[in-house]
Amino acid sequence: MSKLKKIPLFPLNVVLYPASKLPLHIFEDRYKIMINKCVKEKKSFGINLFLKDKIFLTGCTAFVDEVTKTSETGELDIVIRGLFRYTIADYSLNKDGYFTGKVEYNSENNLISDNARFYEAVNLYNELIGIVYKGSIKAIDPDDWKWLEGDLSVSFLMAEKCGLNLNEKQKLLEIDNEDDRIYFILNYFEEVMPKLKDAEKISSIIMSDGYIVQ
């Protein structure tokens, strides 16, 4: 059995992926304490989806890349970067009022073996962002070595800007294998692409992404 690691937890109404960036506004006292401690000690913390009074156990560690603003009341605007996926084995409240959890890091397999589905998914993604974002989002190069060598997950990158709802984002985060993640997101593309002439659908994708373009 893998050794468990204890980390601070920040349950939120978001799903964070490895290598993704998200802006956050920190206003609760307990999380101001937590974030300031993590910044000072250069430590990571965990982001878990909190939805309908449920904390989902699979999350992603986050590192504070930048503190963009600090108010007189101590509120913070920060940019976080996703690091590694994990699953919570146990969690509890600490004396400062935020959760800490004992977590086990998930195995990572970003290698792609089904090239046909990979290219199909990337082509559909590039078509989707062309329609929705009209050139403001960079297309993915399927021949980039970071995908081919498994350095990063292309499925997580595609998930940032394609309009998955929170439950779908969470399901993708919980999948360990890149081929399976690509298959999941390819099924989503095949369902949503016929609907993209609908202006309301396009608006919902833009409004729901939240991630910072890198």
In this predicted model, what pLDDT tens digit does every residue of 84-110 receive, in sequence order? 999 999 999 999 999 999 999 998 889
According to the 3-state scheme, what is the secondary structure of the chain? CCCCEEEEEEEECCCCCCCCEEEEEECCHHHHHHHHHHHHHCCCEEEEEEECCEECCEEEEEEEEEEEEECCCCCEEEEEEEEEEEEEEEEEECCCCCEEEEEEECCCECCCCCHHHHHHHHHHHHHHHHHHHCCCCCCCCCCCHHHHCCCCCHHHHHHHHCCCCHHHHHHHHCCCEHHHHHHHHHHHHHHHHHHCCCHHHHHHHHHHCCCCCC
The predicted-structure confidence for 28-85, as pLDDT tens digits, reads as follows 999 999 999 999 999 999 999 999 999 999 999 999 999 999 999 999 999 999 999 9
Q: Is the pTM of this model over 0.85?
A: yes
Q: What's the confidence (pLDDT) of residue 12?
A: 97
Report the distance separating Cα 80 and Cα 210, nearest Å: 12
Q: Which domains does the chain have, with CATH numbers?
A: 5-105 (2.30.130.40), 115-208 (no CATH)
The predicted-structure confidence for 101-156, as pLDDT tens digits, reads as follows 999 999 888 999 999 999 999 999 999 999 888 888 999 999 999 998 988 999 99
Tell whether the model's pLDDT for residue 1 goes beyond 60.
no
Mean pLDDT of the chain: 93
